[in-house]
Copies of this chain bind each other. A is one copy, B any other.
Amino acid sequence: MRQFFLLLLLIALVPYIGLSKNAPVDVMPLPQSVKIDQGQYRLEQSFKIAINGGGERLSKATTHFLRGLDHRTGLWFPQQFVRQATADAAFPMQVNVQRTGTLEVGEDESYTLEITPSKVILTAPTDLGAMHGLTTLSQLVKSDANGYYFQAMTVEDAPRFVWRGLMIDAARHFMPMDVIKRNIDGMAFVKMNVMHFHLSDNQAWRIESKKFPQLTAKASDGEFYTQQQIKEIIQYAADRGIRVMPEFDVPGHATAILEAFPSLGSDQNATAYQREVNAGIFDPTLDPTNKATYKFLNTLFTEMAALFPDPYFHIGGDENEGHHWTHNPSIQAFMAKNNIKDNHALQAYFNLKVEKILQKNNKKMMGWEEIQNPEIPTTAVIHSWRGENEGKGPGESLVTAVQAGYPTVLSNGFYLDLLFSAEDHYNTYVMPKQLTSQKEKDLILGGEATMWSELVTATTQESRVWPRTAAVAERLWSAADVRDVRDMYRRLDIVSHQLEIEGLQHIKSREGIIRLLANGQETNALHTLVRVSEPMKGYTRNPMGTMYNSYFSFQKFADACAADAPDALKFKFLVQDFKAGKLDKLQDIKDMLQLWQANDAKLQQVIAHSPMLKEVSGLSAQLSEVATIGLQGIDPEFERSADWLNQAAKTLHHARQQGGRCELQVINPIAQLIGLSEQQISEVAG
């Protein structure tokens, strides 16, 4: 009877195509080539590392690796520092480097790692490559009953793309030094090499200017980086093989500048500007027809260009709708006089002037895709960020830019702040199929994950960036055909654990919020709900950008949740496996459903003593309701009437309602489990 029932459940199968195969190593990004050999290098207290070649940076990185290994294993290696002078052929681990790499686009980052039962040999043309080899090795530590070891193997590795970045937005919410440093640690651990630092926007200006101290005095609420701190960040990143590229968004996204210098604005009626505390696209814009604008930018960008050694300088340039230009007669007159046909052309006029300032400072201009214009020289880098949401199809702006001869970097598909799954980011194609010539392909420099901070604070930023950024890093480093989503998630869990050991707060910060919300009570039931809930995706959590103010608390239920709700993901895969014929998964499925069914009664007791949790009372009830549906649906004794199926569809539909700006992630797999199609559910919703 039971077997028969199981067969019944399997009848309406979605074809199961997700055949997953474990990668040869639990490393992320997956190396280009791994050859597993016989035997293991066993880690003992006598482990020692010698360095041949390289400089101070490699010495620091190797010491960090050695001490990290000590943390991971507790073996207490007597070698305290791995110094450049430490060249001893008898040491079991050897790091061999030909030269110190430069932090430039296209520098050699390759390495070879040979692990035998008696030796660990890391070889690389540059220290940057060797440092990547060290992070690979960090991720290769395994243990068994006898202790810790590295599996014998040969790894040959090099990045697929030269530009692998993370954009940190410190404008909407300030990110203190330790948050910046931890993000850089995380980037280094997944072999990223560009930190794009978004330092100004409508909400604030975040960097000390000695030429224009008014910027921070009037437009930072006292939260900004001193130039000394910026130097510290640049050095910290450089020590980890990471370039730091600043962004100062002009001519739009510049209300902070205008609060300090209102006379540079384009609104003919404004004598003052006030920074935004909401999210969105706003009208205030620098006046491109005012000579004072360029005088100001020349002084400011010259000062900033000297501070950041990176050859690239990002000027933003996005989302300028030019309303203030259109409504300003003097700007209109200027356009007519100079034969500037529209606002886009006026922005190109502005960008060209800015480009001259940057050129004088030996900087290459980079800007969001809106800066593309025939008049802009092809030394500029086009940063592609829009895609099918705007109806252009994924990557279209990337193709347009490359075909016009611009080097490009992709961020469309990598918007971490929208809280889509790691799978979504992972499935992004960086190299458009339309590009066939090598010359065109070479113009695709790589990509950047972007972490806009309208809805995150220093407390939650890391829990949005990590571990998902590791999936983006793999997309940008590993071969194009590394695409097994199940295996990616398997390794993402491991790397997330390792990132915490590296010092990241992405797990801890959420636990802290959960304790805050539980108001001193037991947290288990709350954890159970968090583990199946995700914040509303895209721009839906913050309708019209006005539900939240930037100074509000972001330590609510939605902030305790993150993308890739782990139990929902686990459940989804269990259902997939079960539907693919792995009948032994049924017990795990039942266990999870029972946990959820019983959870509401427990959680309601907690909610009763924590007013902040009231907003998820409904969500908690919904979870129990859908779990009941699921349990009924897999119960061989339960009679599935048409009425029941109809009611089940209604319940599942209802359970899609948000609570606490979050949504349950188990609806679809439960529907799949009991054989209800999306269409059936929609119909009852009708």
Contact = CB atoms under 8 A, between A and B. Distances in A.
10 contacts: A67-B553, A74-B556, A76-B553, A80-B549, A147-B611, A177-B178, A500-B512, A500-B515, A500-B516, A508-B511
Interface of A: 67, 70-74, 76, 78, 80-81, 143, 145-148, 176-178, 221, 226, 228, 277, 493-494, 497, 500-501, 505, 507-509, 511-512, 515-516, 519-520, 549, 551-553, 555-556, 608-612
B497 A70 contact: no
Contacts of A507: 512, 515
Contacts of A609: 143, 145
A178 to B, nearest CB: 4
A73 B512 contact: no
A501 B512 CA distance: 8
A640 to B, nearest CB: 35
A74 B560 CA distance: 13
B74 A277 contact: no
Contacts of A147: 611
Nearest to A493: B520
Given A74-B612, A178-B177, A507-B512, A80 B551 contact: yes
Contact of A80 (B148, B277, B520): B277
A555 B500 CA distance: 13
Contact of A73 (B73, B146, B497, B612): B612
Nearest to A550: B80
A551 B74 contact: no
A234 to B, nearest CB: 15
Contacts of A509: 508
Of the listed residues A76, A78, A610, the one surrounded by the most CB atoms of chain B closer than 10 A to its CB is: A76
Contact of A610 (B143, B515, B520): B143
Given A177-B177, A277-B80, A146 B611 contact: yes
Contacts of A553: 67, 70-71, 74, 76
B148 A611 contact: yes
A509 B512 CA distance: 11
Given A78-B549, A508-B511, 7 more contacts: A67-B553, A80-B551, A143-B611, A177-B178, A497-B520, A507-B515, A511-B511
> 7 smallest A-B Cβ distances: which pairs?
A508-B508, A178-B178, A71-B553, A74-B612, A80-B551, A147-B611, A70-B553
A70 B552 contact: yes
A549 B45 CA distance: 14
B611 A516 contact: no
A656 B555 CA distance: 43
B76 A552 contact: yes
A647 to B, nearest CB: 32
A494 to B, nearest CB: 7
B555 A71 contact: yes
A24 to B, nearest CB: 19
Nearest to A607: B145
Contacts of A493: 520
A505 B511 CA distance: 11
Nearest to A147: B611
Contacts of A228: 226, 228
Contacts of A78: 549
Contacts of A500: 512, 515-516
A143 B70 contact: no
A432 B555 CA distance: 46
Contacts of A520: 493-494, 497
A358 to B, nearest CB: 30
Contacts of A552: 70, 76
Contacts of A516: 71-72, 500-501
A92 B249 CA distance: 41
A616 to B, nearest CB: 12
A67 to B, nearest CB: 7
A598 to B, nearest CB: 18
A373 to B, nearest CB: 39
Nearest to A148: B611
Contacts of A70: 551-553
Chain B CB within 10 Å, residue with most, of A145, A226, A277: A145
A549 B70 CA distance: 12
A144 B478 CA distance: 53
Contacts of A143: 519, 609-611
A209 B70 CA distance: 32
Given A176-B178, A555-B74, A508 B501 contact: no
A507 B505 CA distance: 13
A287 B15 CA distance: 84
Nearest to A70: B553
Nearest to A69: B553
